[in-house]
Structures are given as structure tokens and as C-alpha cells.
Structure 1
Amino acid sequence: MTTRQVLYVEDDPVNAMLMQGILELRPGCSLQVARSGAEARRLVIQGRVDLLLCDLHLPDVGGDGLLAQLRAEGLPESVPALLVTAESESVAAQLARSHGYDGYWTKPLDVAATLRSLEHWLDR
């Protein structure tokens, strides 16, 4: 079985630890955390990504603009990208739609719902 590579662009260590804990509940998943847009671009260039999760507020770039940069660096259009944000559902949906994301998750994350959604996006 191929390990699915999830890239989470998140500068808050607590949120990164929470996501790591959630992904540990899903066998066959490996999480890489990028703490900035620059680090995310480097990781996209270096290796395979099966799912991109991206925070909205990063130290060097907004998550709203990062997806286009990562696609330009070689992240395939076929790789699903989700915005992960503390914004309200309606704002998150609008931001995700307007910036090319396939969907969104709102913080605080519900573990069971996140795992179900993870299955959906990884099994596409």
C-alpha cells in the first residue's frame, strides 16, 4: 500500500500537532508540515503531495494566494487542496471557492468529521 503524502501549511505548532494526531488515526498517511509559504514551495518541488491542507494566515504569504504559487511550482491540478481556517463556514466557503481550493475545513477541527473528509479527499 502506498503511503499518502499530506502537506499541511500551518505556522501554529498547536494546530500542526492536532493535525498530526488526527492523521495518526488514519493508516497509510504521512504528514509533512510547512511553517511558511516558502517552505511549502520547497516541499512541493522536492516530493509528491497527495493532499494539500493550507492555513489562511501565514507569516510570509496569505493562504488565499499560496495555492496559485504552489500550482506554479508544480503541484498538479489533480491534487486536492483544502483551506483550513478559523473563519466562519460562509467566509471559508467563499474564500476557498474564490482562490481555487477544492474545499475547506473550519477550526476548531472535529476529529471524526475531519477523518471522514480526509477519506473522501484521499480516495478521489
Structure 2
Amino acid sequence: MVLPAYAFRRQAKLLKTDEFSSVFNFRKRVSGQYLVLHYRHNELAYARLGLVVGRKTARRAVDRNYIKRVMRELFRVNQHQLPGLDLVARPHRMFGRQQFAEIEQEFTELVAKLQRKLASRQEQPEC
């Protein structure tokens, strides 16, 4: 039995502006109460994550950094469930340590919703 690798490597990150733009221009997303996941197929065998946390969402840098840390951790734990996708996670409401369990549940539900959406529509990779 082989366990999935749970590391968050550099290759699993969206780093360039063009990568973010292509995900946003694809205009596919799933959303919840706190989070929006924009997605697009990629040609790779693994999922990649990009984070966008604006100053409107969280005024203080400490809060923005906490949100990014939480999102990276949730992706790291769930990345083995995702096919070759580029994801951009964007919170549209601020959350703190008190809402961690709620955010964790919402992220899991959004991943499940995304999988159902991909399976039902049989979306073809578009570039």
C-alpha cells in the first residue's frame, strides 16, 4: 500500500501572472460561504494552487498571512483527491482561528462539489 505524498512542493504552486490569468479567464468556479475556488484543467498529473487574498478581505497583513497559511494546509492535505487542475483559492470573507473547523469543512465540501461537477459534465481540458 502506497500512501499519498502530502508535501506542498514548489511545483504545486501557481507562481506566474499568466498562470493566474489563464485560470481567471477560464471562468469556472465553485463557491461557498467563505471561499471561492477558480479552476482550470492543466496538462500535468497533479493539481497546483494559487492564492489571492486582497486587502479588502483582510485589512491586516497578519490576517492575510493566516488565511494563506490555512489555505495552503488545506490544499496540501487534499491535493491527492484532485486531478490535474490549476486552482486559485480566493476568500471573500475574513476568517480567523475560531472558524478553522468551519473553513476546513467548507474546503472539503468545495473539493467534493468540484469533483462531482467535473464527473457529471465530463468537462474536456481546454487551453
TM-score range, shorter chain: 0.3 to 0.5
Q: Which has the larger radius of gyration?
A: 2
Give the alignment's TM-score, normalised by structure 2. 0.34
Give the alignment's TM-score, normalised by structure 1. 0.34
Higher-RCO chain (CA-CA 8 Å, sequence separation at least 6): 2
